[in-house]
Amino acid sequence: MKKMILITLIIGVFLTLLSAQDKPRQFSKEWKMAGPEKEWNSVEHEYFYRWRDKVLAKRAMANEQILRRQKAILNGNKITTEIWNFGSISSPGNRVTDIVWEGLGYGYEFGPFIGAEIPVKPNSHIDSYIKKDENGDPVLDDDGNPVWVAKAISDGLVSLGGEISPDGKVFWG
């Protein structure tokens, strides 16, 4: 009986160690690069977004061409709102200046919706495809190879630091 319990215990420990290797260690670089997961708790989400904001801030400081995000709060004609220098009016989660009509509360939030077709390396993204001309024929580069593209769409409200490829490795903007 002791032998059976010992074998069960060893198998249990082995399976636990084996399954733990599927996911990166919590708060490691690999864990952060994998991005937010549904099962994360609020502490993990907060840690990830603080890390991401630091990465984006470092990039912004290193690049003198990037226009810093700025906002202003306008108040007049019984309406208070927040505007940003990238075209958005209000921002996600804004409870104070979210287009507030005096005595009426929440109004609405909106901003630009931008789409672009971006050239990428062949098969580099899940959503990449071969670009086609108006006749449905593949567009070729100077070497005769098909041109691969991916579509990027931005609402301008969430990332505030350019858009990120689906795999989280390439930053545009």
In this prediction, residue 6 carries a pLDDT of 76
Whether residue 55 is found in the same domain as residue 76:
no
Side-chain-facing half-sphere of 18: CA atoms under 13 Å: 6
More confident residue, 103 or 145: 145
Domains contained in the chain, number:
3
In this prediction, residue 148 carries a pLDDT of 94
pLDDT of 44 strictly over 50: yes
Residue 100's DSSP bridge partners are: 80
Whether residue 173 is found in the same domain as residue 118:
yes
Is 137 a domain residue? Answer: yes
Highest mean pLDDT (candidates 23-32, 68-77, 79-88, 125-134):
125-134
- pLDDT tens across 148-158, in order? 998 887 765 55
Is 97 a domain residue? Answer: yes
The whole-model pTM stands at 0.36
Is 46 a domain residue? Answer: yes
**Six token digits for residue 123:** 């098969």
Is 6 a domain residue? Answer: no
Query: Are 52 and 60 a contacting pair, CB within 8 Å?
Result: no
Give how far the C-alpha of residue 6 lies from the chain's centroid of Cα atoms, to the nearest Å: 47
Whether residue 137 is found in the same domain as residue 173:
yes
More confident residue, 51 or 171: 51
Whether residue 129 is found in the same domain as residue 163:
yes
- pLDDT tens across 73-116, in order? 888 777 777 877 777 777 666 666 666 565 555 555 566 677 88
Is 2 a domain residue? Answer: no
Whether residue 116 is found in the same domain as residue 134:
yes
Is 119 a domain residue? Answer: yes
